[in-house]
Structure 1
Amino acid sequence: MAVSSGTGLDPVVAMALVGALGVGSQWLAWRMRLPAIVLMLAAGLLAGPGLGVLNPSAQFGDLLKPMVAIAVAIILFEGGMVLNLHSLSDAAKGVRRLVIVGAPLGWLASASVLHFVAGLGWASSAVFGGIMIVTGPTVIAPLLRQARLQKRPAALLQWEAIVNDPVGALAAVLAFEVIVVLNAATSAGHAVQQLAIGIGLATILGVAGGWGIAKSFRQGWVPEYMKIPVLFVALIGVFALSDFMLHESGLLAVTIMGLWIANSDLPSYVELRRFKEHATVLLVSGVFILLSANMSRETLAALDWRALLFVLAVIFIARPLPVLAALAFTNVPWRERLLVAMTGPRGVVLVAVAGLFGERLAELGIEDGARIAPLAFALVLATVVLHGFTLTPVARALGLTAGTTPGVLILGGSKFSVALAQGLEKLGLQVLLADPNHAHLRNAREAGVPVYYGDILSEAAEDRLDIVAYDTLICATDNDAYNTLVATDLAPEFGRANVFQLRRVRETSSRHALPVTLGGKPIGADETFFELNARMSEGWDFRATTLSDAFNAEAWRAEHPEAVPVAVLGKGGGLRLLGPEDSLRDAAGAQVLSFAPRRQSAEAPS
């Protein structure tokens, strides 16, 4: 790959800059509610070919390629750890068709577009076409949350992205292995022999590494605090050993290793999954910044009209046709088929893997391999921006949105929870009340509040509940330990700022105090389950009031001195739950939901 002009920036400073740009871009994207990949691309291009501050090839020298290779190996291992075959067997028929039928057709369609439209040779097209199967699980999730799709189309898109992540990686790795063997072999028989040896060796090492990790973790041969370091070292060891024994076989080995561990039913799988998620955020950010900064202005200028036609052909041909063919003769309605077919954002995994394979192909003498990286950048940028701005209006036009207002998931079926749910519904919010005790839901059903009977942490809830439709979680059962467990477990899903919990009965005792990392935020006056339901028996209830310029927060407080503000729904539809330390702010048009004695009026004076 071409590089930008040289700089004298110290390698340590350059590494710090890569980390700051990558993680900083992701944080800024979270704050601005923008696709992170767009900001990372802008940051890398600005620091590299734009200002010339960052030149990875000059600053890291011979270490750049092994750094990127190890990072991509860990990313592919993470992709393998996502694919649990038990989950796939339980998935809907449409998802299985998208993987079993759609993935091979997508590989063929993408490779054809790369060859006939972008002008790449069949070798580069086969490798790049394989990784183009991946639709970007890290990009799909925030788009689905923003668009608020109905459960089935959201599940189709999300499961396709998750399952096709390792499938696309395997396709690209296998295609690359074939190209390497064909370029090194002296005859057809020698090529078949080398390919069989390569795939066999990588499979043996990957399975051995996965089996060894699973066996040692299950038997307790590794203490808990060392499991993540041991996993990391074993991963790097399998990659290095496989590459040492047979060049370019390491990526396939670590992908198979991840697949084996994902299907080993390890008790420590949650901790391992968190490791891979955290590692992937860091590595994907770093690789993306390094690859974008390492591009030259000449390489970017080489993106001509054929690159534009390639992007358009992928969006309107290579993506829709395989999806429509895969979903044909299924029970998926045509509107949902059309939405899934026209939604295919690619993510940073595609850029990272494609960039590495492009360089390796160029080293093998396949010159058009150098064109893979800029084409990957163009495809990712175009699809993320396009779907980021069009998914919501397209879904709304097709009638496939679950609602435009933020949803609230309440755990517990007490009188207080039912009254809170009714109050939130009066604000126009989507509410679901869940409880593992069927009898506790009787009042909610009689009041017409939507309910879910079952454990919110169960696999059944994961399959049946449309979690994407809910932004906020309130844990309000009579079991403090269960509230803490659910709030802690689902905090990464909802975001810790959006998870709330009633105060525990013994929370004030130092003997029973929990670390701040456990449980959710306090809500309302920070009272216990029994205190709140006692107030319900005394005649307290939830009331909604609309603020205005004439009736502001101060006037509301003077009118309702005993009321406890619980939630504020802004004029634009944004929901903010209040805790004991949160103050009510002036906001004309905002609706305040408060918990107050029934004798008080909550209507603003005329």
Structure 2
Amino acid sequence: MAIAADGAMSPVTAFALIGALGVGAQWLAWRLRLPAIVLMLAAGLMVGPVLGILDPTRDIGSLMGPMISVAVAIILFEGGITLNFHALGGAAKGVRRLVIVGAPLGWLLSTLALRYVAGLDWGSAAVFGGIMIVTGPTVIAPLLRQARMQRRPAALLQWEAIVNDPVGALAAVLAFQVVVVLQTGQGLAANGGAFVIGLVFAALVGVACGWGTAQAFRRALVPEYMKVPVLFVVLLACFAASDAVLHESGLLAVTLMGLWIANADLPSYVELRRFKEHATILLVSGVFILLAAAMQPETLALLDWRALAFVVVVIVAVRPLTVLISLLGTDLPWAERLLVAFTGPRGVVLVAVAGLFGERLVSLGVEDAARIGPLAFALVAGTVVLHGFTLTPMARALGVASREIPGVLLVGGSKWAAAFGEALQSAEVPVLVLDGNHARLRSAREAGVPVFYGDILSEAAEHGVEIMSYGKVIAATDNDAYNTLVATDLAPEFGRDNVFQLQRVKQESARHAMPATLGGRALGQGQSYFELNLLISEGWAMKVTRLSEEFTAEDWAAMNPRAILLARLQPNGDLRLHAEGKTLEAGPDTRLVAMVPPENAVS
């Protein structure tokens, strides 16, 4: 039976419930445009301490600890594998400061806040203060995806979160070793030596695993279909080997392994990263639900006014002082410094590691260490809720957010692309036309439409284009195969509903046609590149028309029977490109962008 008489459910049922709640919370957040982390936290608390439906300790038992440890290791590895040094750009100096200066300074200030505000003794404060260095890649990633920030501040937050996670865990290990010496009288030299040996071993194992994996993949020693399984096995072995020598050093090892692979220029790197991103979404969801549901009512009862004061002090004093002092002397604009300073959400790594060390300190006789777990949960909940709702408006207020209306990337320069881009710009939609041929960009430049000289799939475009400013892609070159390649390659990043291409030229034989499963959605009403540009040369023009109560979509269609509808801009600023076969559904204040024949061009 799935549920026993005492209310306990089987581990299989518990896993299914955790998965359904995690993915369901993320889907609901997408539909409601709310922070996913907040809904996951709420869902975990609701089924856990509030309703008592799920008790991970009861329903999963001894598997819970190892599961969370492995999940955190995979999450950190996925974070490391996204950190390509080329992507740092102008954020490199800031990241170094946040790690080299910010980590020890944050440790000191956090320890002082825990001692004098939360009321912990020096031992517990030092251990938890080290853990508080971390800022949570599990939380930063979805927040950045939601806030759509500019490249440099986003890179600062992402790199700091991923690099400082293992640093914080190791700082806690160091502080814990000192507490062990003080509590048990063991030799400081022996414990310090074990810490250094474990640290060096973890670094060597991480680099060796990253180098070995990269070499095996580059030399085709692993078949394509086995690369992801092999990667997972090596990752788990790397984590387990390091953790066996020094607790929590496995986090450093897997982060270094990911960093090495990210910068090894592997041909299958993009596919590996995307698969791990999908796995990480599931793991983040599951771990958040699991940790929130595991909170016991009596544990939550340990939170008092001092806990609230502690969270407030961390948000308004400890984090801002750490960041602003660390970034002194850099050339970063003050708007970016302030955004980073007041953005420090904590995530699953903090809760997991804090709970582990809290239990170990209690077993050593440090009684107030029992408050570390509840304080960690309060800090995570407070920062997640605060930053989940404030990061986007704060980024906009400071001028470091991407444009509010996600723009359009037009891949392929032509007279049609220039005309469409100019029409979108007149409707206040950001546009960028990209092409590897200077001559093809001439029409767009003359029309005042921003252009980028280069291939959209090149490294130059990856690092030179503010991709986060754009929400739609239209592959509109004269090469159907290239259009299909662009649409297929960018679909996982932009979402398949947001990737379009011009209609392919129909082949005489179905055997010679490209599979319908590849590429993007067909834009407009089925016209190809050549047909659209021919219409432009015949005098057709782009026209933007605003609908109203008096002039409806039906009226527009009746007046423009030959028009080719390309896009509509909703009153709330949401841009929707018109796909082939879709019917026109638009209300008042909607703006329609369409190609119209010469007789309708002026009216």
Q: Normalising by the residue count of structure 2, what TM-score does the alignment of the two structures yield?
A: 0.91
8 Å contact kept, 1:315–1:344 = yes
Number of residues of Structure 1 aligned to a counterpart in Structure 2:
595
1:158 maps to 154
Match of 1:64 in 2: 64
Instruction: Kindly state the Cα deviation for residue 557 of structure 1 after the two structures are TM-superposed.
Output: 1.4
CA contact (8 A) 1:566 1:593 kept: yes
Equivalent residue of 2:599, what SS?
Answer: coil
Q: Deviations over 1:44-89 (max 9, x none)?
A: 1111111111011111122222222222222232233333345447
Matched with 2:371 is: 371
> What's the counterpart of residue 172 of structure 1?
168
Which region of structure 1 is more displaced relative to structure 2, 466-475 or 193-202? Answer: 193-202
Asked whether the equivalents of residues 435 and 453 of structure 1 are also in contact (C-alpha less than 8 Å), the reply is yes
Q: Equivalent residue for 1:579?
A: 579
> Which stretch shows the higher mean deviation, 277-286 or 159-168?
159-168
Structure 1 residue 218 displacement after superposition: 2.0
Aligned to 1:557: 557
Q: Give the % identical residues.
A: 61
Q: Distance in 2 between matches of 1:246 and 1:394?
A: 40
Counterparts of 1:89 and 1:351 in 2: how far apart (Å)?
32
CA distance in 1, matches of 2:280, 2:187: 40
3-state DSSP class of the match of 1:600?
helix
For 1:576, what is the secondary structure of its paired residue? strand
Residue number in structure 2 paired with 1:30: 30
- CA deviation string 1:394-438 (max 9, x = no partner): 444444555433322211110010010111112121222121211
1:277-356 aligned within 5 A: 277-356=277-356
User: 2: distance between equivalents of 1:397 and 1:65?
Assistant: 41
DSSP-derived class of the 2:101 partner = helix
For the 8 Å contact 2:99–2:164, the answer to whether it is kept is no
Deviations, residues 226-258 of structure 1 (Å, cap 9, x unaligned): 111111112222333344455554344333333
Q: Give the Cα–Cα distance (whole angstroms) in 1 for the partners of residues 287 and 508 of structure 2.
A: 47
Aligned-residue offset at 1:129: 3.6
Q: 1:593 to 1:272 in 2, by over 3 A?
A: same
Contact persistence 1:502–1:523 (CA under 8 A) = yes
SS in 2 for 1:554: helix
* Segment of structure 1 superposing worse, 248-257 or 69-78: 248-257
Secondary structure in structure 1 of the residue aligned to 2:217: helix
> What CA deviation, in whole Å up to 9, does each residue of 1:460-507 have, x standing for no partner?
323332222222111112222332232222223322211111122256
- Shift in Å at residue 201 of structure 1? 2.9
Gaps of 5+ in 1: none
Residues 157 and 346 (structure 1), Cα distance of their counterparts in 2 relative to 1, 3 Å cut? farther
Give the 3 Å change call, closer, same or farther, for CA 148–194 of structure 1 in structure 2: closer
Mapped contact 1:37–1:347 kept (Cα < 8 A):
no
Indicate if the aligned counterparts of 2:157 and 2:340 stay in contact, CA closer than 8 A: no
User: What SS does the corresponding residue of 2:511 show, helix, strand or coil?
Assistant: coil
Letter in 1 for 2:211: W
- The residue number in structure 1 matching 2:219 is 219
Residue 554 of structure 1 and its aligned partner are, at CA, apart by 1.7
Note the C-alpha offset of 1:20: 0.7
CA–CA separation in structure 1 for the residues paired with 2:129 and 2:328: 23
Q: Is the 8 A contact 1:288 1:352 kept in 2?
A: no
What's the secondary structure of 1:471's corresponding residue?
strand
**Structure 2 CA distance, aligned partners of 1:400 and 1:173?**
31
Q: Distance in 1 between matches of 2:204 and 2:404?
A: 50
Which residue of structure 2 aligns with residue 420 of structure 1? 420
User: How far apart in 2 are the matches of 1:399 and 1:251?
Assistant: 35
CA RMSD of aligned residues (A): 2.7
**Residues 143 and 181 of structure 1: CA distance in aligned 2, closer, same or farther (over 3 Å):** closer
| Contact kept? 2:141, 2:158, Cα under 8 Å | no
- Bigger CA drift: 161-170 or 135-144? 135-144
Which residue identity lines up with residue 166 of structure 2 in the other structure?
L
Contact 1:99 1:160 in 2 (8 A): no
Partners of 1:352 and 1:513 in 2: CA distance: 53
Note if contact 1:320-1:341 (Cα within 8 Å) is conserved in structure 2: yes
Change in Cα spacing, 1:348 to 1:246, as seen in structure 2 (3 Å) is: closer
User: Could you say what secondary structure the match of 1:599 adopts?
Assistant: helix
Residue 20 and residue 148 in structure 1: after superposition, are their counterparts in 2 closer, same or farther (change >3 A)? closer
Which region of structure 1 is more displaced relative to structure 2, 374-383 or 306-315? Answer: 374-383
Write the distance in 2 (CA, Å) between the matches of 1:564 and 1:336: 43
Unaligned runs of 5+ in 2: none
Whole-Å separation in 1 of the counterparts to 2:327 and 2:148? 22
Q: CA deviation at 1:440?
A: 1.1
Q: Which residue of 2 aligns with 1:113?
A: 113
Q: Assess, with a 3 A threshold, how the Cα gap between structure 1 residues 202 and 163 changes in structure 2: closer, same or farther.
A: same
CA contact (8 A) 1:25 1:39 kept: yes
C-alpha contact 1:206 1:253 (8 A) present in aligned 2: yes
Rounded to whole Å, the distance in 2 between the matches of 1:458 and 1:428 is 28
Q: Which stretch of structure 1 is more off in the superposition, 40-49 or 367-376?
A: 367-376
C-alpha contact (below 8 Å) 1:130/1:169 kept by paired residues:
no
Distance in structure 1 (CA, Å) of the matches to 2:375 and 2:17: 25
Aligned pairs for 1:469-548 (under 5 A) are: 469-506=469-506, 509-515=509-515, 518-548=518-548
Please tell me the residue identity of whatever aligns with 1:32. Answer: L
1:319 CA displacement: 1.4
1:464 and 2:460 correspond = no
Q: Distance in 2 between matches of 1:23 and 1:97?
A: 36
Which residue of the partner structure matches residue 204 of structure 2? 204
For 2:376 and 2:107, how far apart are their aligned partners in 1?
A: 15
CA distance 1:402–1:535, shift in 2 (3 Å): same
SS at match of 1:562: coil
Q: Cα distance, 1:352 vs. partner?
A: 4.4
Q: Give the superposition deviation at 1:211.
A: 2.9
Inter-CA distance 582–178: structure 2 relative to 1 (3 Å threshold):
same
Residues 503, 165 of structure 1: alpha-carbon distance in 2 compared, 3 angstrom cutoff:
same
**Alignment-derived partner of residue 592 in structure 2:** 592
Indicate the larger mover: 281-290 or 254-263.
254-263
Residue 138 of structure 1 and its aligned partner are, at CA, apart by 5.2
- Tell which deviates more after alignment, 335-344 or 358-367: 358-367
Runs of 4+ in 1 over 6 A off after TM superposition: none
Corresponding position of 2:386: 386
TM-superposition CA deviations, 1:354-383 (whole Å, max 9, x none) = 445545555555544443343333223323
Equivalent in the alignment of 1:455: 455
Please give the TM-score of this superposition, normalised by the length of structure 1. 0.90
- Counterpart contact for 1:84–1:263, Cα < 8 Å: yes
- Rounded Cα–Cα distance in structure 1 between residues aligned with 2:116 and 2:57: 32
**Residue 524 of structure 2 contacts residue 578 of structure 2 at CA under 8 Å; is this kept in 1?**
yes
Distance 1:356 1:464, change over 3 A: farther
Q: For 1:174 and 1:359, how far apart are their aligned partners in 2? A: 17
Distance 1:594 1:330, change over 3 A: same
Output aligned runs, 1:81-96, within 5 Å. Answer: 81-88=81-88, 91-96=91-96
For the 8 Å contact 1:545–1:602, the answer to whether it is kept is no
Which sits farther off after the overlay, 517-526 or 380-389?
380-389
Is the contact made by 1:542 and 1:595 (CA closer than 8 Å) also made in structure 2? Answer: yes
TM-aligned CA deviation for residue 100 of structure 1? 3.6
Secondary structure of residue in 2 paired with 1:474: strand
- Amino acid in structure 2 at the alignment position of 1:226: M
CA displacement at 1:580 relative to structure 2 = 1.4
Residue 158 of structure 1 and its aligned partner are, at CA, apart by 1.3
Report SS of the residue matched to 2:545. Answer: strand
Query: Structure 1 residue 297: deviation in Å?
Result: 1.2
